């Protein structure tokens, strides 16, 4: 599990570092990847990037004061993946905190949906505005024109580019990581990207490798691509 955390304490920088150390040690003991940002009188250290937050499975905020950059975690909060706890609790009961991070009921897991083939740039700060614009247009509602400013944004969607994203979820990931953990909802984006791309998505995610070429040939040779 990938964890990102922020430690910030009203009682002083010493407690902030103690919380950071406790988180790092417990994560290492349990085999989790972790990055901890600290905020205090000397500023921000080991700052979490947008990509760090995007790639994280869970966010642990061990804070007792208002922190800078709280907006970075808005999407994770909407997904229910942010856990708030007082730094003193982290220091005294680190194991129990991590038990809660690892514990998710099946009912909760059934509500989680993973987007597998997202192509967006991980450093994008306009993701919410972009999604709102696209969603409104798909519904036939008026929406301001959105111009993507990300690197290579002008090249459009490329499945090959999506596969290079740190957040890309492959078939192997689904079968060997997420399903054994109890997750079962996976989403493929791109229904408006054209029939050829949709076919590639369906071949990759829903067709066994040994049959992909045969299915592709049958669809193209029988002029069935328009069905998509």
HSE, CB side, 13 Å, CA atoms: give it for residue 148. 18
Output the CA torsion sign for 47, 108, 181, 159.
negative
Distance, CA of 33 to CA of 104 (rounded, Å)? 19
Do strands 2-8 and 114-115 pair parallel, antiparallel, or not at all (unpaired)? Answer: unpaired
Q: Are 76 and 82 contacting, i.e. CB atoms less than 8 angstroms apart?
A: yes
Distance, CA of 214 to CA of 221 (rounded, Å)? 10
Concatenating the DSSP letter of every residue in 141-183 gives: ---------STTGGG---HHHHHHSTT---HHHIIIIITTTT-
Among residues 9, 116, 119, 120, which one is catalytic? 9
Residue 9: active-site member: yes
Residues with catalytic function? 9
């Amino acid at each position: 599990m990938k964890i990102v955390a922020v430690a910030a304490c009203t009682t002083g920088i010493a407690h902030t570092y103690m919380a950071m150390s406790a988180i790092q040690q417990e994560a290492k003991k349990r085999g989790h990847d972790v990055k901890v940002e600290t905020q205090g009188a000397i500023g921000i250290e080991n700052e979490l990037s947008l990509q760090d937050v995007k790639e994280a499975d869970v966010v642990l905020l061990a804070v007792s004061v208002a922190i800078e950059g709280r907006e970075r975690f808005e999407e994770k909060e909407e997904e229910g993946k942010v856990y708030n706890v007082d730094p003193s609790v982290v220091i005294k009961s680190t194991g129990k905190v991590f038990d809660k991070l690892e514990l998710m009921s099946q009912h909760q897991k059934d509500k989680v949906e993973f987007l597998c083939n997202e192509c967006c740039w991980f450093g994008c700060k306009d993701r919410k505005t972009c999604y709102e614009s696209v969603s409104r247009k798909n519904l036939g509602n008026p929406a301001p024109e959105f111009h993507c400013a990300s690197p290579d944004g002008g090249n459009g969607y490329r499945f090959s580019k999506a596969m290079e994203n740190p957040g890309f979820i492959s078939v192997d990931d689904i079968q060997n990581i997420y399903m054994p953990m109890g997750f079962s909802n996976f989403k493929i984006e791109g229904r408006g990207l054209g029939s050829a791309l949709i076919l590639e998505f369906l071949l990759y995610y829903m067709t066994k490798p040994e049959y992909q070429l045969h299915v592709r040939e049958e669809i193209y040779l029988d002029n069935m691509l328009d069905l998509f």
